[in-house]
Structure 1
Amino acid sequence: DDAEDMIVLAVTDSGLGLPKDADPARLTEPYVTHRERGTGLGLAIVKKIMEDHSGRVVLGTPDWLKALAGWNDLGGATVSLTLPLEAADLIAPPADAA
């Protein structure tokens, strides 16, 4: 995937973060949780939705995000959602555009 053809939304919270020994791939499986509360379905649902739209989920803070000016590590978990841009949708105006 070319970075130019993708859009990335990185969401960071100020919670406890991901456990250091956690397997990121396993955390997106249904019913997996490292907390006392919760169903372990949240990231699994997000992953399914992203895959249905040819996207992907990345857990952890990517290096490019850490390098951005003004990046403020809140100490929690970061989840990056990556989706392909559809060039035709960006270039072609709607049929009823005047």
Structure 2
Amino acid sequence: GLAHEIKNPLTPIQLTVQQMRDKYAGKDEDYQKLLDNCTEIVTEEVESLRGLVQEFADFARMPQLALTTQNLNNVITDTIKLYSERRIELDLESDLPDLRLDLEGMRRVLINLVENAIDAAGEKGNIVVQTLRHNGRVRLSIIDEGPGVDQVDRERIFEPYISDKQDGTGLGLAMVRSIIQEHGGSITVSDNPAGGARFDIKLPISEA
């Protein structure tokens, strides 16, 4: 596919620059430093481009959901273990009904939203992950104390290629919304009264 065609030249580009640096036998220290710096820049940009291409490819071929009966609270607690060095408050309703979920898809949703919350809240801002049975659905909320999301951007941020991050592709939240919609759910963003943003996901409760 297109992603493969873009990736193919990246390794030769990287290796060629590294060989140019390694083969230089001169004694010009300034030129050697220039070669080292250029090699480092090219290597970093190649890796960045690889990641970018992979993200586009992942979004283009979203896998079909493999729904199984899951306890959402367990999925959350297992995923949050990835962030053991960052305090994240869990406010989970104890008697949630089981849901039909794609386990890997929900993990991707949680990781994306939690990492966005960490970026927004910084090192000390509070982050809360909350579950609640609400109006016949289960609501999953990720709440942070960052700068929040402007009113005009609250629908646009779920569109592909829209990002307020300097190095973002704008595919993360688009992927999140796609996964949630495939579950028959919805996602919205609003103000956190304490300051910051609140992402609310509503998921249908499976009929027995």
Cα separation, 1, equivalents of 2:175 and 2:163: 13
| TM-score normalised per structure 1 | 0.65
Which residues of structure 1 form unaligned runs of 5+? Answer: 67-71, 89-98
Paired residue for 2:146?
15
Matches within 5 A, 1:41-52: 41-52=171-182
| TM-score normalised per structure 2 | 0.33
Cα separation, 1, equivalents of 2:169 and 2:143: 20
Paired residue for 2:185?
55
Which of these residues, 70, 74, 79, is aligned with residue 199 of structure 2? 79
Higher relative contact order (CA 8 A, sep 6+): 1
Following TM superposition, by how much is the alpha carbon of 1:26 offset from its aligned partner in structure 2, in angstroms? 1.5
User: What is the SS of the residue equivalent to 2:147?
Assistant: coil
User: What is the SS of the residue equivalent to 2:181?
Assistant: helix
Cα separation, 1, equivalents of 2:152 and 2:206: 37
User: What is the SS of the residue equivalent to 1:21?
Assistant: helix
Which residues of structure 2 form unaligned runs of 5+? Answer: 1-133
Following TM superposition, by how much is the alpha carbon of 1:77 offset from its aligned partner in structure 2, in angstroms? 1.3
Cα separation, 1, equivalents of 2:136 and 2:167: 38
Following TM superposition, by how much is the alpha carbon of 1:17 offset from its aligned partner in structure 2, in angstroms? 1.0
Cα separation, 2, equivalents of 1:26 and 1:39: 14
Following TM superposition, by how much is the alpha carbon of 1:30 offset from its aligned partner in structure 2, in angstroms? 0.9
Cα separation, 2, equivalents of 1:47 and 1:20: 18
Identity of aligned residues (%): 33
Task: Map Cα deviations across residues 6-64 of structure 1 (whole Å, 9 max, x no partner).
Answer: 00011111222102432x22210111013323221221111011011000001114xxx
Segments ≥4 residues shifted beyond 4 Å: none
Amino acid at match of 1:40: G
The structure with more radius of gyration: 2
Following TM superposition, by how much is the alpha carbon of 1:4 offset from its aligned partner in structure 2, in angstroms? 3.6
Count of equivalent residues: 75
Distance 1:54 1:20, change over 3 A: closer
Structure number with the higher helix fraction is 2
Distance 1:37 1:16, change over 3 A: farther
Cα separation, 2, equivalents of 1:4 and 1:59: 18
